[in-house]
Chain A
């Protein structure tokens, strides 16, 4: 978890000018890392900045609000927000969470592109998955579409048809040109890999 801001307050007011301004991480921007996160809910003073690199999962874990599309519920249209989303019903359209985790439950059926820091699939998804941190395909998941993520976990039994493209954590890779293939080494955070084949239809 983030450190308390009081621990890092400068001793003299004159030091404020040299400190970086508090910035809420913008994961949509390719130049967003390392992010500087303010831990204060009040208007951020420059001196209260903590220069801790924030990952999408850090932010996702700080979010406590969870919204659920329950079984029997069917939603059409775009869903956006800043919370965790659990889908046990049906969703058609587009899902975009700036900070949070999208979980498609075992009974969930999604016909939509999903964009979120973390995506976990246990049910059925037709659409592209774009995660800034990680994607998990559970053992009963059935995904048809492309996956764009820096990290992927595929459980045995998962069913997947389409492309997977891997990017650097925290980076948006909207175009194929933003990702390239590379070898993977122990420093997984810095790797930049790609594997992709787009179905014709």
Chain B
């Protein structure tokens, strides 16, 4: 369903629905908790797809897995950033062990990115209804980012949504993200897996998601921007 069409439907339904009183059942805010309006909207966008397929490109957590099971979604997980870093490490080791003058010493970042994607993000085309990518795209190398984005676009169904986060300034520490409830994330401090590559301006974010047809951004108090994009 088109984003605007769904918004119109939702507005009509809201006008008809009785007003509910009482507090929302959100998890209590804490130092490591983050309210995610992007997640709330993401869930709303994909809610039409019963048993929809979600791809989480971060670390696997029990709470995230169970959250999506309980919602009736199917979840797949692939820690893309960790895989990329491990791939680079393995390639470096391989190059180090290659005899000098073997002719295989010249490797560009583009070649590495292409080789990595020969084994990463291997899913059927038009497969996923939603993709989660917290703290991923602004950590990826410049050569890998557009290629990974192209692959993500391919494996998503038309109408599918991507939720991605971008830092407005270099983060103080590296976090992974657990879904606590439909609008709350828990930040899990983790040993730095990758250095924050760059800060994207809004225009640049739209550029890297160039093929997607519509977008929406949410800025949190922590200066983290969540971008929600529709294929």
Per the bound structure, the CA–CA distance linking A183 and B66 in Å amounts to: 10
Decide yes or no whether A15 CB sits under 8 A from chain B: no
Min CB gap B4→A, angstroms: 28
- B65–A154 contact, CB under 8 A? yes
- B74–A197 contact, CB under 8 A? yes
- B70–A183 contact, CB under 8 A? yes
**Chain B positions within 8 Å of A195 at CB level:** 65, 68-69, 73-76
Per the bound structure, the CA–CA distance linking A155 and B218 in Å amounts to: 31
Q: Which of A155, A159, A161, A164 contacts B75 (CB 8 A)?
A: A164
**Chain A positions within 8 Å of B210 at CB level:** none
Contact with A along B150-181 (1 / 0, CB 8 A): 00000000000000000000000000000000
**Chain A positions within 8 Å of B73 at CB level:** 181, 195
**Chain B positions within 8 Å of A193 at CB level:** 69-70
- A196–B74 contact, CB under 8 A? yes
Given contacts A159-B82, A161-B79, A197-B127, contact A154 B61 (CB under 8 A): yes
Min CB gap A185→B, angstroms: 9
Per the bound structure, the CA–CA distance linking A118 and B61 in Å amounts to: 20
Question: What is the interface of chain A mostly: helix, strand, loop, or mixed?
Answer: loop
Per the bound structure, the CA–CA distance linking A154 and B75 in Å amounts to: 14
Per the bound structure, the CA–CA distance linking A163 and B127 in Å amounts to: 13
Decide yes or no whether B122 CB sits under 8 A from chain A: yes
Decide yes or no whether A166 CB sits under 8 A from chain B: yes
Identify which of residues 138-178 in chain A touch chain B, using a CB-to-CB cut-off of 8 Å.
152-156, 158-164, 166
**Chain A positions within 8 Å of B75 at CB level:** 164, 195, 197
Q: Which of A161, A162, A184 contacts B69 (CB 8 A)?
A: A184
Decide yes or no whether A182 CB sits under 8 A from chain B: yes
Decide yes or no whether B55 CB sits under 8 A from chain A: yes
Decide yes or no whether B214 CB sits under 8 A from chain A: no
Given contacts A181-B50, A196-B74, A197-B127, contact A159 B60 (CB under 8 A): yes
- A159–B122 contact, CB under 8 A? no
Decide yes or no whether B37 CB sits under 8 A from chain A: no
Decide yes or no whether A3 CB sits under 8 A from chain B: no
Q: Give the A-binding residues of B (Cβ under 8 A).
A: 50-51, 53, 55, 59-62, 65-66, 68-70, 72-79, 82-83, 119, 122-124, 127-128, 188
Can you list 19 A-B pairs with a CB-CB distance of less than 8 A? A137-B60, A153-B62, A159-B59, A159-B60, A161-B77, A181-B50, A181-B73, A183-B70, A184-B69, A193-B70, A194-B51, A194-B74, A195-B69, A195-B73, A195-B74, A197-B76, A197-B123, A197-B127, A199-B123
